[in-house]
């Protein structure tokens, strides 16, 4: 970051740094951006808003050189230029934090960062800079940690710190707070305001409209690849911004009457599990019950055991005691994923591409991956019923309003939010008795998030037991009947939602697991 020389700094000039004029991008017959124009001014934070699939990511990838426009022009400091690739963009001073991380999992944090800053060839010096910058901006990182062992939130920190180390003139951020806690997001806002004060232009993509209202000076709104409005977000409400994005009112979530719950369908009995990775989190004596008709939410800061808990529940990591996990009345701690699906359990992980779906597989093929062992109609005598499989994929796509550019596309061609709607919809389509979902609306627009949250509530309304692991406190309070918090691999007591507040959850996130501590502090 820019260092003070002890003299009074003059306010940076508010000049147009990057301008896009009539940018159009087509993929075959599909038009992702249609004559989009936008001006990014030095020292201002500019929001780019729109539904999933509105063309936001396509537009910023052209600004970063990852894609080339079909027509239209880009200007940098008033001069027309062709940003041929990301290396050209970085040389100009354009940095980007992607929604889907561009990291090598087998490398360490410092090794990933040095790839973007090749001139910093001394890893020891770079590691010290990483520690300094990450500590300075409240984004703690261990330079020697292997990326494969890190949570999604920790991986996001790598992306942000990597950009900050390059002292960008323009910083593009695609859903930067999607996996951050409110405290981490607040610290990030401090960083962004400081960058803005120093003259850096920031293009900010987010579906969290309240933070857009707090942070941004201007907003361009895309719908179906077209600019539909430019507004001052500080003069709008979150509701009015959402309506501009989707062109209609957002679905209002209908809660259920919560009187009586059924039998326990998900039970965790004294689950302890040592992490099999060097930088993982050990699970310690976790106890939890989720009843039929109930939504239980687990809150927590990224990297506190959420991934390990999900893997243990889904069967990706097995435990030595079969009674440690009971699904729909069957003890299955020692059994794998396929067996647990046969127990009428369904699972939606936090990472969409690579974990929830195979990127280069078609949507129909991704249906088969999670249903071939539990749906006897899909595969008979070793042969797949392709018509039935296609019918299921089409049903999910239509019911969950998954926006696709062609019939049965590859998973990687969908926007993040649309792929998330498909993955959650795929699991719900099985009508499970137990549903475990990790970060259900990460990086999803307001309209899609409301649809997913309503679907989770409706799933519990069909007498399923629903466990939601989420870092989004608004989401947790919107869907949950009871709330617990995971911290350093330990689960707090569980509380009815009406007895909880954001402050109580924050205390539990800090490790106040004993009820006496909680009651004495609030």
Give the pLDDT confidence score for residue 250 in this predicted structure: 65
Give the 3-state secondary structure of 418-467. Answer: HHHHHHHHHHHCCCCCEEEEECCCCCCCHHHHHHHHHHHHHHHHCCCEEE
Torsion sign over Cα 306, 502, 346, 258: positive
In this model, does residue 516 exceed pLDDT 50? no
pLDDT band per the 50, 70, 90 thresholds, residue 9: very low
Q: What is the DSSP string of 474-494?
A: HHHHHH-SEEEEEETTEE---
Task: Answer yes or no: same fold for 16-246 and 264-521.
Answer: yes
In this model, does residue 7 exceed pLDDT 50? no
Instruction: Find which of 51-55, 162-166, 293-297 is predicted with most confidence, using mean pLDDT.
Output: 293-297
Cα-atom radius of gyration of the chain, to the nearest Å? 23
| Bridge partners (DSSP) listed for residue 362 | 410
Task: Name the token pair of 517.
Answer: 């501590």
Q: Is 495 helix (H, G, I), strand (E, B) or coil?
A: strand
51-83 burial code (b ≥16 CB/10 A, e <16): bbbbbbbbbbbbbbbbbebeebebebeeeeeeb
Tens digit of each residue's pLDDT (9 = 90 or more) over 360-399: 999 999 999 888 776 667 777 778 888 999 999 999 999 9
In whole angstroms, give the CA distance from residue 140 to residue 508. Answer: 20
Asked if residue 474 lies in contact with residue 297, where contact means CB atoms within 8 angstroms, the answer is no
Asked if residue 284 lies in contact with residue 482, where contact means CB atoms within 8 angstroms, the answer is no
Tens digit of each residue's pLDDT (9 = 90 or more) over 254-289: 777 667 899 999 999 999 999 887 767 899 999 999
383-395 burial code (b ≥16 CB/10 A, e <16): eeeeeebbebbee
Give the pLDDT confidence score for residue 408 in this predicted structure: 93
Count of C-beta atoms within a 10 Å radius of residue 11: 8
Question: Which contacts (CB < 8 Å, 24+ apart) does range 183-192 have?
Answer: 183/138, 183/506, 184/138, 184/139, 184/153, 184/301, 185/211, 187/137, 187/138, 187/139, 188/137, 188/138, 188/139, 188/160, 189/214, 189/215, 190/137, 190/138, 191/137, 191/138, 191/164, 192/45
| Superfamily of the domain at 16-246 | P-loop containing nucleotide triphosphate hydrolases (3.40.50.300)
Domains of the chain, residue spans: 16-246, 264-521
DSSP H/E element including 267: strand 264-273
Give the pLDDT confidence score for residue 103 in this predicted structure: 87
Give the pLDDT confidence score for residue 152 in this predicted structure: 66
Torsion sign over Cα 360, 365, 367, 368: negative
Asked if residue 83 lies in contact with residue 73, where contact means CB atoms within 8 angstroms, the answer is no
What is the DSSP code (8-state) at residue 183? H
Give the pLDDT confidence score for residue 181 in this predicted structure: 62
Q: Select the more confidently predicted residue: 503 or 84.
A: 84
Average pLDDT over residues 65-71: 95
Give the pLDDT confidence score for residue 4 in this predicted structure: 41
What is the DSSP code (8-state) at residue 343? T
Give the pLDDT confidence score for residue 180 in this predicted structure: 67
Tens digit of each residue's pLDDT (9 = 90 or more) over 332-345: 999 999 999 999 99
Q: How many CA atoms lie within 13 A of 30 on its CB side?
A: 15
Length of the chain: 522
User: According to CATH, what is the number of the domain 264-521?
Assistant: 3.40.50.300
Tens digit of each residue's pLDDT (9 = 90 or more) over 438-461: 999 876 777 788 889 999 999 999
In whole angstroms, give the CA distance from residue 124 to residue 244. Answer: 49
Tens digit of each residue's pLDDT (9 = 90 or more) over 465-493: 999 999 888 889 999 999 999 988 999 99
Percent of the chain residues past pLDDT 70, beyond the cut:
90
* Three-point CA angle 244, 197, 85, nearest 5°: 70
* Three-point CA angle 267, 269, 274, nearest 5°: 120
In this model, does residue 221 exceed pLDDT 50? yes
Average pLDDT over residues 243-252: 76
Nearest C-alpha neighbor of 478 from the set 306, 250, 160, 261: 250
In whole angstroms, give the CA distance from residue 217 to residue 230. Answer: 11
Asked if residue 377 lies in contact with residue 467, where contact means CB atoms within 8 angstroms, the answer is no
In whole angstroms, give the CA distance from residue 369 to residue 389. Answer: 11
Give the pLDDT confidence score for residue 377 in this predicted structure: 74
Give the pLDDT confidence score for residue 378 in this predicted structure: 79
* Three-point CA angle 433, 438, 440, nearest 5°: 90
Nearest C-alpha neighbor of 491 from the set 273, 278, 331: 273
Average pLDDT over residues 299-306: 84
Nearest C-alpha neighbor of 512 from the set 190, 495, 264: 495
Q: Decide: residue 113, CB within 10 A, 0-12 exposed, 13-18 middle, 19+ buried.
A: buried
Mean pLDDT score of the chain: 87
Nearest C-alpha neighbor of 400 from the set 426, 377, 378: 426
Token pair 């990297």: residue? 303
């Amino acid at each position: 970051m820019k260092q003070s020389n002890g003299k009074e700094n003059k306010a940076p000039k508010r000049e147009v740094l990057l301008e896009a004029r009539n940018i159009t991008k087509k993929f075959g017959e599909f038009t992702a951006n249609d004559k989009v124009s936008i001006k990014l001014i030095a020292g201002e934070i500019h929001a780019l808003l729109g539904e999933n699939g509105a063309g936001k990511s396509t537009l910023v990838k052209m600004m970063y050189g990852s894609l080339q426009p079909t027509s239209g022009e880009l200007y940098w400091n008033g001069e027309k230029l062709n940003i041929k690739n990301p290396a050209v963009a970085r040389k100009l001073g354009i940095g980007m934090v992607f929604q889907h991380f561009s990291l090598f999992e087998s490398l360490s944090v410092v090794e990933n960062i040095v790839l973007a800053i090749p001139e910093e060839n001394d890893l020891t010096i770079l590691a010290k800079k990483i520690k300094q910058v990450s500590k300075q901006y409240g984004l703690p990182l261990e330079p020697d940690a292997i990326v494969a062992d890190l949570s999604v939130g920790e991986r996001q920190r790598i992306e942000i710190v990597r950009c900050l180390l390059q002292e960008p003139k323009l910083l593009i951020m695609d859903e930067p707070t999607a996996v951050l806690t409110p405290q981490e997001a607040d610290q990030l806002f401090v960083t962004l305001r400081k960058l803005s004060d120093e003259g850096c232009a920031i293009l900010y993509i987010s579906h969290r409209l309240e933070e857009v209202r707090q942070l941004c000076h201007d907003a361009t709104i895309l719908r179906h690849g077209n600019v539909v409005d430019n507004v001052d977000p500080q003069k709008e409400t979150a509701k009015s911004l959402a309506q501009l994005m989707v062109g209609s009112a957002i679905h209002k979530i209908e809660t259920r009457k919560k009187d009586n719950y059924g039998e326990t369908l998900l039970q965790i009995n004294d689950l302890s599990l040592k992490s099999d990775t060097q930088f993982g989190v050990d699970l310690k004596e976790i106890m939890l019950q989720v009843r039929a008709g109930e939504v239980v939410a687990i809150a927590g800061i990224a990297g506190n055991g959420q991934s390990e808990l999900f893997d243990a529940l889904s069967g990706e990591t097995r435990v030595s005691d079969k009674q440690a996990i009971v699904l729909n009345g069957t003890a299955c701690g020692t059994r794998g994923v396929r067996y647990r699906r046969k127990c009428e359990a369904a699972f939606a992980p936090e990472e969409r591409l690579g974990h929830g779906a195979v990127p280069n597989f078609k949507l129909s093929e991704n249906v088969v991956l999670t249903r071939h062992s539990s749906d006897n109609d899909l595969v008979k005598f070793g042969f797949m019923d392709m018509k039935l499989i296609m019918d299921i994929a089409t049903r999910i796509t239509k019911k969950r309003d998954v926006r696709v550019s062609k019939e049965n596309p590859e998973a990687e061609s969908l926007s993040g939010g649309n792929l998330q709607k498909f993955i959650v919809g795929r699991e719900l389509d099985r009508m499970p008795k137990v549903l475990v979902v990790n970060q259900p609306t990460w990086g999803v627009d307001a309209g899609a998030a409301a649809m997913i949250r309503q679907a989770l509530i409706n799933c519990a309304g069909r007498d399923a037991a629903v466990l939601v692991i989420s870092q989004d406190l608004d989401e947790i309070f919107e869907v949950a009947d009871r709330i617990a918090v995971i911290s350093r691999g330990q689960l707090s007591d569980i509380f009815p939602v009406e007895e909880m507040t954001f402050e109580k959850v924050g205390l539990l996130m800090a490790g106040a697991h004993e009820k006496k501590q909680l009651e004495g502090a609030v």
